[in-house]
Amino acid sequence: MTEPATRRTPGKEPRISTGVPGLDDVLCGGLTPSRLYLLEGTPGTGKTTIALQFLREGAARGERALYVTLSETSDELRAAAATHGWSLDGIDVYELVDEMGLDPDSEQSILHPSELELGETVKDVIARVGETKPDRVVFDSLSELRLLAQNPLRYRRQILALKRFFAKRACTVLLLDDKTSETGDVQLHSIAHGVISLDQMAREYGSERRRLRIVKMRGIKFSGGHHDFALETGGIRVFPRLIASQHHAAFDPVAKSTGSAELDLLLGGGLVPGTNMLLLGPSGVGKTTTAVRCMKAALERGETATYYLFDEGLATLMTRAATLGMDLRPHIESGRLTITQIDPAEVSPGEFATMAREAVEKRGSSVVVIDSLNAYLHAMPGEEFLVLQMHELLSYLNQQGITTLLVLGQHGVVGEVRTDVDMSYLSDGILLFRFFEAQGMVRTALSVMKSRVNAHERTIRELKLSEGGLEVGQALEDFEGVLTGLPAYRGKVAMLTGQAPAGGEA
């Protein structure tokens, strides 16, 4: 009896890297070597790119790599690799069907009906494998093999024969398939040791979304569900689905100052690490300025912060902050502040969650600002479970001890205002902003409507933007109906004087 090429203890097999950033994390370590895997997806999903990354990773580790192609020529593969800035040096590319094989007069099946013999074409592959003794093999693609087999029975026999052949030679094999088989045909799934399925979704606006799912993977744990990935110059990067329950960190939940003593009193002591605060109000009421003031206070304490800007331009934010006495440039130059302008039409929810996670784990950010949730939620039409993904992200940030500030705009200015999406149940605290009229002027009221961690004030205070940033006044005890926008004056409480400087938040 012939012994296997390698002997391993079940459940303790080593892993090999796929060469695709993020995919090894989804696979909880990589692929089990010397197995046959199926990589399926419609044309354009990125199968060839993943295959090349898989082989290049092996070549970089000193392994022998072989690309067997029926669908593309060697020149086409090298040209595709060059678009990513790659060289295929160290990878043996073998064209299984040459010009003679395309001649109608030379039509033949790849394998003979017998399960014991391989056809002449596959014998060439055997010879090449015998010559190169590869550790990693890519077979591209099975759709051509399916057509040449002519019937399902012979096709299955061919796949089984290839599986046995490579298994005896300790090869890790990636079979590519473009899903041209009949709907519901899962015979490949039953044969393969593991199945990775790629998907591409076109949207009405913005770039297409790509995602993958591990359909099966025998003998190893993996992260289930869909994971977003991006196909860009330089290859594919996978963004593993964030599972907040897997990430915990120790931190001190002691309230920290917002930079305004009056705002600290209103919040019951300040902002507490491991919580998120929702800044809720109509456009122009001062939400962004308040978020910047709170973030700048953390920066002045020597902390690191990340600001995700969805709505306005970076130059506009920097200019407005400087006008209000909050120059952010020194903090950016020192490396403690990172402001990232996000185009939500081009960024998937999974990619954004990965960006936030890297800000925390790689850059050490203790404060994260998302400005605003409106753009994040509305500019991704058709994305299912977007609010649930935001819940997972906020749970992760809380468990890492991050202070998160969420800006959410409401429709309307004075009187009735409304919110398209209810995010209040996700928030640990809500800072409510309202316009109101008094003494012939439009003023701003500020109140804390919710706090899960502090005994906050129940008062309503006036807020004014000034050259010093923001100023919080006394409680509006002599007014009734402030939150309606049309208050009634019942006393002699002095209003904050002065106008917001030019360039202040409108």
Q: How does pLDDT run across 106-119, given as a tens digit for each residue?
A: 444 443 433 333 35
Q: How far apart are alpha carbons 39 and 34 in whole angstroms?
A: 16
Question: Mean pLDDT throughout 381-391?
Answer: 74
Does position 504 have pLDDT exceeding 50, yes or no?
no
Categorize the per-residue pLDDT at 130 as very low, low, confident or very high, splitting at 50, 70 and 90. confident
Kindly report, residue by residue over 241-267, the tens digit of the pLDDT.
Answer: 999 999 999 999 999 999 999 999 999
- Return the pLDDT at 114: 35
Question: Mean pLDDT throughout 154-171?
Answer: 83
Question: Mean pLDDT throughout 164-170?
Answer: 86
Query: Looking at domain 23-99+115-241, which of 3.40.50.300, 3.10.20.70, 3.40.50.150, 3.30.470.30 is its CATH number?
Result: 3.40.50.300
Strand order across the 65-69 sheet: 91-95, 65-69, 136-140, 172-177, 36-40, 194-201, 209-217, 226-232, 235-239
pLDDT over 90 percentage in the chain: 59
- Return the pLDDT at 418: 72
Domain ranges of the chain: 23-99+115-241, 246-412+421-489
Question: Mean pLDDT throughout 219-226?
Answer: 94
pLDDT greater at residue 110 or residue 232? 232
**pTM across the whole model:** 0.86
- Superfamily of domain 246-412+421-489 in CATH is P-loop containing nucleotide triphosphate hydrolases (3.40.50.300)
pLDDT greater at residue 392 or residue 488? 392
Does position 234 have pLDDT exceeding 70, yes or no?
yes
Following DSSP, what letter does each residue of 397-433 receive, concatenated?
HHHTT-EEEEEEEEB-SSS--B-SS--GGG-SEEEEE
Question: Mean pLDDT throughout 188-213?
Answer: 90
- Return the pLDDT at 167: 84
Does position 469 have pLDDT exceeding 90, yes or no?
no
Same topology between domain 23-99+115-241 and domain 246-412+421-489? yes
Q: How far apart are alpha carbons 126 and 162 in whole angstroms?
A: 10
DSSP state of 256: B
